[in-house]
Amino acid sequence: MAFSSIVALLVLSLAPPGDVAASDVPNDEGGKIAVSWTRSPDTTVTSYRVLRQAVGATEWETLGFVGRLASTYTDDAAANDRQFQYRLIAVSPTETAESEPSAPAVATAQWFNTETLPALIGSAILIFVFLYFINRARRDRNLFIRRISGLDHVEEALGRATEMGRPTLYVPGLSSIADVATIASLNILGEVAKRTAKYGTPLIVPNTDPIVYTVAREIVKESYTSVGRPDAFNQDIVFFVTDQQFAYAAAVDGIMTREKPATNFLIGMFYAESLILAETGAATGAIQIAGTDAVAQLPFFITACDYTLIGEELYAASAYLSREPLLLGATKAQDYSKAIIVGLILLGTLLALIANVSTSRFM
């Protein structure tokens, strides 16, 4: 071959990708290896072919193709605790160029996700604060908890229903038992049921989730028993309606207009039906106490209901109503934890401001 031909071939040949490196993807359950490389400087490259070979094997297998701008690839089918090597082939319309293989890498499963370390530290601090206040509540049984207007009027609302001889309606939201808002609502239902049992006020609890229905029924039954009125409980108090959102809203609206409850509790997780329920209740003239942590539904409840438990108040309600010292201790801890978070936000803002000012001064 003539010297000029060899030079032309060298000049025209495609430059392969370089620095191919492979490493285990951290903080996962294994089975993944991250591959990275330096892109070929050649502008005619259209894609890269990713190849893998288990150490000791003779064949290279193609894992897939990535675009010309890619410089990383995650192999999510790598067997754990087995060594693999990777190599890239740059592909252009006319030719290909193969990289050197990477050093062997092994996929392993991790026992701790280091990305969750801040969450672990934060949780540990909050648990410490909670345990401290719960212990303090054991000694000092008169912890002060700020007044929550909506809960202060529960007695009044139930008293009104009793005087008028009309029922009380309790809607425990439309979410499942897996939702903590539903659990908080069921805790409040227990306290409300104790009072309706004591006053002899009829209670209506329609449910949209079969599991919530079974739990709610047991809670109401226990509440009636705990105040010495097991005879006043009947199966019709708590019932399942449907798991369809708007069919449920129609059924509850029907109960509101037919039975005319004097008091409506709309407490738990609500979605688009919140205003349909709250406005119908307002139209029937009932006193309405609502509570939800669904931020999008809060304005509707604030507008259409007499009292609204906003966000965290929903979770403090059962402690507030039962006045149980240990529960009050946890509520107190909730307030202090919030103060800690607010303090950290202020500190962070201050540090960011200082950093900003000092950077701009020296620039």
- Which residues in the 261-320 window bind another protein by CB under 8 A? 272-273, 275-276, 278-280, 282, 293, 295, 298-300, 303-304, 310-316, 318
Q: What is the DSSP string of 170-230?
A: EE--SS-TTSHHHHHHHHHHHHHHHHHHHHT--EEEEESSHHHHHHHHHHHHHHHHHTT-G
Give all strands (DSSP E) within the chain, no chain letters.
Answer: 18-24, 33-38, 47-54, 61-67, 72-75, 83-91, 96-98, 105-106, 168-171, 203-207, 238-240, 263-267, 287-292, 307-310
- For the CB of residue 10, give the shortest distance to another protein in the complex, in Å: 48
Rounded distance, CA 204 to CA 196, Å?
Answer: 10
Q: How far is the CB of 230 from another protein (least distance, A)?
A: 12
**Position 334 contacts another protein (CB under 8 A):** yes
Per rule CB under 8 A, is residue 23 in the interface with another protein? no
Whichever of 51 and 78 has its CB closer to another protein, that residue is: 78
Contact status: 210 vs another protein (CB under 8 A): yes
The Cα 88–Cα 39 span in angstroms is 10
Q: Which stretch binds another protein (CB under 8 A): 4-12, 98-106, 237-245, 346-354?
A: 237-245
Distance CA 181, CA 132 (A): 25
Among 6, 119, 125, 346, binds another protein (CB under 8 A): 119
Alpha carbon distance, N-terminus to C-terminus of the chain: 61
Kindly state whether residue 222 participates in binding another protein, applying the rule CB under 8 A: yes
Angle value at C-alpha 330, between 329 and 332, nearest 5 degrees: 65
Nearer to another protein, 6 or 341 (CB): 341
Q: How far is the CB of 337 from another protein (least distance, A)?
A: 5
CB of 5 to another protein, least distance (A): 56
Candidate segments 2-10, 42-50, 90-98, 334-342, binder of another protein by CB under 8 A: 334-342
Pairwise CA distance, residues 142 & 328, whole Å: 9
Size of residue set near another protein by CB under 8 A: 90
**Starting at the edge strand that comes first in sequence, how are the strands of the sheet with 307-310 ordered?**
238-240, 203-207, 168-171, 263-267, 287-292, 307-310
Residues 158, 168 contacting (CB under 8 angstroms): yes
Among 121, 127, 346, 353, binds another protein (CB under 8 A): 127
110 is a contact residue toward another protein (CB under 8 A): yes
Provide the pairing of β-strand 33-38 with 18-24.
antiparallel
Dist. CA 27–CA 257, nearest whole Å: 55
- Taking the least distance from each CB to another protein, the nearer of 8 and 121 is 121
Q: Is 358 in the site for another protein (CB under 8 A)?
A: no
Tell me whether residue 159 or residue 311 sits nearer to another protein (CB atom): 311
Site track for another protein across 163-202, x = CB under 8 A: ---------------x-x--xx-xxx-xx--x--------
With respect to another protein, which residue has the nearer C-beta, 136 or 221?
A: 221
The answer to whether 333 contacts another protein (rule: CB under 8 A) is yes
| CA 21 to chain centroid | 36
CB of 113 to another protein, least distance (A): 5
